Amino acid sequence: MPEYRLNRVFGEASLIWEVDESGRPSVVLRADGYRGFEVICQGAHGEILPDLLSRRCGVDSLYHRIGACIALERALKVQLPDVAWKIRELILACQLFRRHSLTMILHVLPDLFFPASDLSVRNLVGLFRVDRDVARRMMSLAALGERILRELCLRSVHPVIVVPGGITGIPREESIQALKGLITDAMELVKETSRLVKMLLRRNEELVMSLSIPADIEMAAMTPPFGPSWEGLRVLGLPEGTNVDRAEELIKRAERFNLPHTMLEACRLKDQVGKVSTGPLARVNSGGGQGSEVAEAELEELKRTWGFPFKGILLSHAIRMTEMMMALERIHRLLSRFDEWKKEESRNELAPGSGRGAVALEGAEGIHLYEVAVEDGYISSVSYHSPLQWNITAMLGILQEEALMAGEEIGGPRWQAKSGLSVRSFAPCFFCASG
C-alpha cells in the first residue's frame, strides 16, 4: 500500500492509504519502534524506576520521571516534604513552557504560514527564508525554554533532580535569580508570538473551521500547574451518574487495544461509546479558564473570536500560547516564595515495601496515566497510557474524514499537506505511544 512519511513529529510515523473497489478511500496510521518498557521495568528495584521510564522519551522525559516517582511513592505510602511538592510544581511549569515552545517552532508556525505549500517550503528553513524576524523570535523562544529548565534542573533533557521521596536538593540562589530575569524576557516574547498565532489563525479561518475534533469525551487532570490538586480529574461527556475523579478509577476504566498496521495502542474508556480527547482544548473546555491574570485575558479574547467551547483542533495552538503565559505567571509566583524553602528538608527516604499506586499526571499534550505495583521494594508491574493513546481515535477520525473528502486525490500533495497539519495539531509523541 502507498505510504506518506510524516515529518516534524516526535518519533517516526506514516500514513498508509488505499481505495477499495467501490472507490471509497481509507487511511491508517503506522508507527514502529516498540521497545517494551513495561516489561523491562519488571523486577527492577523501585528506586531506579524513574530512571528507566524517563528514557521512554526525551521531550516528555520529565513527565515520565515525575509520574513514576508519584506512583511509586503512593505504592509505598511515602509522605513528601512540602518543599518537594513546590519544587516539582515549579519544574512542571518550566517543562510546560519548554514543551509548548518546541511545539510552536516545530509544528505550528510552518503549518500556519504555509498550510498548502510543498514540504520543501513548509518547514523552519522555509520560514527563515520568508520571514527571518519571525524565525529568530521562535528560535529565541525555544532557547528560552531550554535555558529556563537548565537553570532549575542543571540540564534540560533527562534531569535527575526529581527522585522517589522528594528532590535531590534545593536549587541554587544564583539559578533562582537567573530564572527571574529569564521570565521577564520570555513573557514579552510569548505575547508577541501569541499575536502572530492569532493573526495566522484568522487568516486561515476556513481551514480552522473545517478541522473540528470529533471527540465525545474530554478529559483533564487537575495537577500542577493546571490545578490545585494532584488527585482530581475533570471529564466531560460521560453519561449522567458516571463518576471518574481519581487516577485509580481511570485506571480501572482505561482499556488499551491494538490498531492495525502499527505498534501503536489506543486507549478508550470501558463501556463508553465515543472518542476520547485530552490536551489543551480538553483542559480549557472542561475547566473554563487558565487561573492567571495575563493568560485569562488572552483566553477571553479567543472565546469572543471563536466561540466557546472550542472545537477546531487548530485552536489548540492559540491555547498553547495562553498556557505558556500561565506557566510563566505560575513560575513567578512560586519563585517569590523561594526564601521559605531553603530551610526545609527536601527528601524522605523510601523503605522497601509492597503496594500499588497510580497517578494521572497532566502533561503539555494531555493525561499521562501511570500505575505501579511493588513487591518487597521491587517492581512487579508497570502500566502507562500516553496522551497520544487517548487522542488517537479522534485523530484517526479527522484523518478518515479528510480521506473521504480527498476521494481519488488521496495521496496527492493537498491531502498530504492537510493530513500532516492535522496530525501535528495534536503535537503527538510517537515514542511515548509505541512503548
> Distance (Å, rounded) from C-alpha 398 to C-alpha 423?
9
> C-alpha cell of 405?
473528502
* CATH number for the domain harbouring residue 308: 1.10.645.10
C-alpha closest to that of 70 among 349, 359, 354? 359
Segment among 46-60, 286-300, 336-350 with least mean pLDDT: 336-350
The pLDDT assigned to 317 comes to: 94
Give phi and psi for 370, each to the nearest 5. Answer: -120, 140
Residue 342 has pLDDT above 80, yes or no: no
What kind and span of H or E run contains 16?
strand 14-19
Residue 155 pLDDT > 80: yes
Residue burial 336-345, b: 16+ Cβ < 10 Å; e: rest: eebeebeeee
Buried b (16+ CB within 10 A) or exposed e, 166-182: bbeebbeeebbebbeeb
Tens digit of each residue's pLDDT (9 = 90 or more) over 215-240: 889 999 999 999 877 778 988 888 77
Distance separating the N- and C-terminal Cα atoms of the chain: 25
What are the pLDDT digits (tens) for 175-186?
Answer: 888 888 888 889
Query: At 8, is the pLDDT very low, low, confident or very high (cuts 50, 70, 90)?
Result: confident
Exposure class string for 38-53: b at 16+ Cβ within 10 A, else e: eebbeeeebbebbebb
How many C-beta atoms surround the C-beta of residue 162 within 10 A? 22
Unique residue bearing C-alpha cell 513548509: 122
Closest by Cα among 243, 76, 96 to 165: 76
Percent of the chain with pLDDT over 90: 47
Q: What pLDDT shows up at residue 318? A: 95
417: enclosing H helix or E strand: helix 413-424
Residue 376 has pLDDT above 90, yes or no: yes
Residue 1 — very low, low, confident or very high, per pLDDT cuts 50/70/90? low
Express each pLDDT in 355-374 by its tens digit.
Answer: 999 999 999 999 999 999 99
227-247 burial, b for 16+ CB within 10 Å, e for fewer? Answer: beebeebbbbbbeeeeebebb
Axis crossing angle, helix 315-335 with helix 293-306, rounded to the nearest 10: 170
The residues facing 233 across adjacent strands are: 221
More confident residue, 420 or 240: 420
Count of the separate structural domains present in the chain: 1
Print the domain residue range for 229. 3-434
pLDDT confidence bin for 384, thresholds 50/70/90: very high
Lowest-pLDDT choice from 96-105, 132-141, 282-291, 400-409: 132-141
pLDDT of residue 94: 93
Q: 131-135, 139-143, 163-167, 396-400: which range is least confident on average?
A: 131-135
Location of C-alpha cell 480538553 = 282
